[in-house]
Structure formats: structure tokens, C-alpha cells
Amino acid sequence: MISNSLLKLAACRGWHAANENEFVFGDFNEFCITAKTSDVLTSFFTSIAGIAPENLIELTTWLEQTRFPMKLVDYEMTDNFIAIRAKDSAFSGTAKQMEKFLSMFTEKLRELQVDPGLCAICGLPADQMALYVGLYCHIHPDCLDKEGYDFTAAAPAEDVREEDEDDEPDELVMLAPADGALPCPGEEELAADKDGCEASGDPAPPEIPDAARITALAEEFSGERDQFLQDLAALCAIPSVGGAPEEGAPFGRETIRALDVFFDIAKRMGFKTVNLGNYAGYAEMGEGDEMVASVCHLDIVPPGSGWDQDPFTLVVDGGKVTARGVNDDKGPCVASLYAMKKLKDDPAFTPKRRIRVIVGLNEEKGSACMDHYRAVEEIPVAGFTPDAQFPAIYAEKGIATFELTQKRRESDAIASASAGAAVNMVPADIELTLKESGEQKSYSGVCAHASLPHLGINAISVAMEALEQELAAEGKTDRFVEAYRALIGQEFDGRSLGLDYEDESGGTTVNPGLLRIDGEEAVLTINIRYPVTFELEQAKARLKEKADAFDLEVNWISNLPPLYQAKDSHLISTLMDAYNEGTGLSGEALAIGGGTYARSLPNICGFGPIFPGDPDIAHQANEWMMIDKLLAGAAIYREALRKLAG
């Protein structure tokens, strides 16, 4: 429960309560704050992503030496968040004292140049806000299911209690959302259930490789480092954003220029090269009836705004390189070529299978490049795409989208409604108009990625719950509201829709992402991520039966089947051996709810380039990679290809 003092502070600040008043969250001096009470202690959480190491040290000193309006017990810094515990009692924890403490704390953060608007995962500016692992913060939706950069990694937990204080438990628990979000006193706009992680529990995050091991791996390419950067610069200089199709250029002229640069590098290295009609191409070495591959792409997303430099000029700053494509996917492509060159130059290496680096030119706009490759070329018997993350990804859930359509009745209370920007995002806002009064209403939520809906607050669900109560009090009805509350409510697993299921790859997640209501019909568009052993056709039959009870028509729009390679399969076990031997870890393969380039060809899985603990800054302004991480990836790719090729 939340203490009366904290509840009073939350109400005065316009904060929200969640998990049946287990914790509150809101803004304070533009910083996102989460707070909870346990016994006589109140814990405050906020993101300090982006904080400089020297300022991190100053912050710890300040916490330990400053006299505050509240009695601090201890603090902890981890995963870009700081958690501070303080006494919550009649004499040390009034709402006024809490407010004074938060004022001092946030002012200190500003003094230390902590930007309150940075993504809690990658540390770059972000407009969206969400509950990430139960903590309110700024975030990029694309970062939600990715490893980030931990700016607090070097900060130890400290005990700042006075010697005569009674013993208190030292552990600070990072909250995860549970059931039943309720409004703070005086608020009626936001009420939403928050589920925890999947029933089986979130898997432990992958271990972060030791920096010394990364450096040692990169050193294996020390003799090629300068040439590697020259080749990467040449490739990044091409603005290979997919363009309108032309004769001989199915994805635009710039993608062909990038392909030509790739071929120039590969030919210089002594590889056979093949152009597949300017849809795709490859570089190849070795002999044998079978072939293994690294599958990359040379097309990029537009640079967009916010760059501190020319996005097509590779900038080397210390150990970091910045340009569009260094992460996604030109850097890993060059790393794959250098990995293959090392194998070619190894006199002791006599592979049983040929090795290819395959490049596509249309990954960012649908992977039609690989459709063409499959139609005209040999399929690898095993391989990986360095367009994902480390370690190996053995399972990607299925991704499907369907519509629920219901004809409107004269007696329905809602005249119109609109919500959502994209079906793969948790909608953050909904606007609607009631019939009789013409009253316009808006409800707010918190945006998140559709694969992790429990990290957001769905504005449609908020609105339907509130309207159900309001309409009942006024003796009015709306058939769509009734259907939504009965079939979806605040669920994330699709239980009431007949879609819930779980296996080793995780559980079903359901995201009602788009809603349109007019005088003729209500159309709700839903995105689901389903486990690899999920029987979709059986689920469709269950869904239809549930929908028929509310006169809802089901229309399946799209389905991307799951991708699965058993953890003990030759491909996954081989890649994990290469990764663990290189990093000195004992990591396990990953299952994810998103989709990667691995789906574009059979016998392929995601493998790199992002190491655990690193931010994924693909598609963002000032896209960058650490040079050592690119070269360490090359060393791991080399050993993976060596093992796969026999």
C-alpha cells in the first residue's frame, strides 16, 4: 500500500497510482518519478541515463554528505535507475518533506547535467514515456525489448543510515507491474490494469561480456583495423536508402552503388562475387556441395533530423564510429567480410562447405531482395544474420494482425472514436464523442511496443473501463464497450479471446492498437505475438466463437509465422559455442517477441551485432558503434563460420 503522505503528494502533483495503489508515478520538475511505500520506508526511483562517470561519483558523495528533509536509509544505482529509500513516518516523511526532498534531488540532477528526457535504455533523447520494468521513464519504443547501455554500472549501493537507526532490510526491489492500476485521489482519467511479466517470469538478461575479452577479440584484427575503417567509410558514404524502382534498379540507384562498393571490397580480398539482378548479391569462398552464410543488407533508413554531423561521412572519435549504417547493417556486413577473409588466409582451414556473405538491398522495406534470392539461388544449410543482437536468437514469436468489426446500433452511446498511431504500438491516446450530449472525451495511456504491452497503459482499455461505469450510471449502453470489456478488458494474454498460450518461447501477447468508430461500424485492430508451438488455426476457431457472441466479424489481415531453431540444434549450439568461447561466458540462446531479418531465408537465425548491455541505436540520429565491438563481432563471426563450414 501507499502511505497517506505519499498518496497526498501523488494527488497534489497529479500523479497516477498503479497495482491497486502499490506504487505511484508521475513528473516532478520534468523528471519521471516512481515511488512506493514498504513498512515505514518510501522508495523513490528515477532514471539517470546519460550521467557522466565523474558526475555519478559526485552524486553519490552528495547523497552521503547532505542533510535532507527526510531521513535517507540507503540508495542503489543500477540499470540506469537510482533508487533512494527514506523514512516515512509522522516526523520524517510528510508530503511536504517528500516534496522538499524531491526538489533538492531533481535540482542536483540538473546541476549534474542529467537530462530528464533521455531514454532509460540507450540514453538518447526520447519523447515517449512508459512504465519500463515497472518504472516510469522516457523511452524509445524500439528500445523496449533490447539491451541498453548502463551508465550506472560503476555505482555501488551505499548505506547512508545513521548508526542509531534500527536495522532495515538492505535490498531495494525494482518494481514490475502487477494487477489493477487505480486512479490517484482526485483523478478519473487514467485507470488500467498492469500485468507482470509473462507467467513463467522474465528470463535473466544475458551476461555482459568483460571489456578485456572484447578488447582481446578486437586485437585479433589489429592489423586490419585501418583498412576496415576505410572500407566501412566507403560503404557508409553511399546514401543507400531504398528508392523508386527503375529499369535495372528494383530498389533505386543508390542501393546498386552500395552493392558495387561491397563487390569492390570483396574482389580485393580475393572472393568470387555474384550480382543477382541488383536485388541482392554475395561474396563466396571455398568448395563443397553445401554452403553456409552470413546474411546482411546494404540498404538503410533515411537519416532523418538531429544529426551532429553529415550522416554519410564516417566520423572516428576515439574508439567510436558514427554514420548511418555503421550499426544497421553496413558495419556488421564489413565485419562479416573480414571474418571470411581471415578464414581464407588461414592455411590450416580447409572447409567442407562453401562460405558466403549474402547482401540484400531491401531489408528496410520488406525484404523483397531475399524473396528474389530464394527464387534464383542456393539456400544456405546454416547461417546467421548480424542484424539483431548477441547471443544467438533461437526463437522469434509469430506476429499476426486481425480486425474485429461490429455494426453500430442506434442505441449505442458512442458517436465516434479514434485511437492509435500504429497497430504495433500500445495506443497512448483516444478521442471520442458521445451521441446525445455531443460531449467530447479524451483518455490517456502510456506508449509501449506491441510485443511488450504490459510495459504500457492502453488508452483504449482505459476508456472502455471508464465508459462502462459512466454509461451504467446514466442508464445507457454501447455494444462495443460491452464486447471490449468482456473479451479484452485489461488482459495482455488474450485469455478471454481464446488466444492465451505459453511455451518455452514465452506467452501470447495481445495489443489492441487501433480503434475507429463512426456511425456505421466499430473497427478494432489487434496485433498478437504468439509462441512457436501455438496452433493458430485452432485459435482462429476459438476467437470466432467468442466474437460471434457479440456480433463481431473477424478479419485476419496478416500473419508472420514463428521462427524456431531448437536450442540444441546444430545451428544454435554452434553459434553459442562460438559466442561463449569468444566472450568467456556461459550464456544461453534468446527467444524474442520481435521479428528479424532471419525470417527472410531458411536455416538462419539472428546473431549480433549488439552485445548485451549495449544500446541499440539503429535508425536513430548519430547512429554509432564502438570499433572494438565491431571487430570483436568479426572475431566471433569468423569462429562461427569456421565451425558451421566444418
Tell me the catalytic residues. Answer: 299, 363
Distance CA(267)–CA(199), nearest Å, equals 52
User: How many other CB atoms are found less than 10 A from the CB of residue 488?
Assistant: 22
Whether 583 contacts 209, CB under 8 Å: yes
Looking at residue 402, the DSSP 8-state letter turns out to be: E
| Spatial CA neighbour of 386 closest among 142, 646, 141, 630 | 630
Distance CA(187)–CA(494), nearest Å, equals 28
Distance CA(429)–CA(128), nearest Å, equals 12
Phi, psi dihedrals of residue 66, rounded to the nearest 5°: -90, 145
User: How many other CB atoms are found less than 10 A from the CB of residue 212?
Assistant: 9
Whether 207 contacts 213, CB under 8 Å: no
Q: In the chain, count H helices and then E strands.
A: 13, 32
Whether 247 contacts 346, CB under 8 Å: no
Q: Where are the beta strands (DSSP E) in 472-613?
A: 502-503, 506-507, 509-517, 521-530, 553-560, 563-564, 590-592, 604-606, 609-610
β-sheet bridge partners, residue 558: 401
Task: For 232-275, give the secondary structure using H, E and C.
Answer: HHHHHCCCCECCCCECCECCCHHHHHHHHHHHHHHHHCCCEEEE
Whether 236 contacts 325, CB under 8 Å: yes
Distance CA(386)–CA(332), nearest Å, equals 6
Contacts of 323 (CB under 8 A, 6+ apart): 232, 233, 236, 311, 312, 313, 314, 315, 623
| Helix, strand, or coil (residue 479) | helix
Half-sphere exposure of 51 (CA within 13 A, CB side): 32
| Spatial CA neighbour of 383 closest among 134, 585, 644 | 644
Distance CA(250)–CA(362), nearest Å, equals 9
Residue linked to cell 530498389: 251
Residue linked to cell 526520447: 126
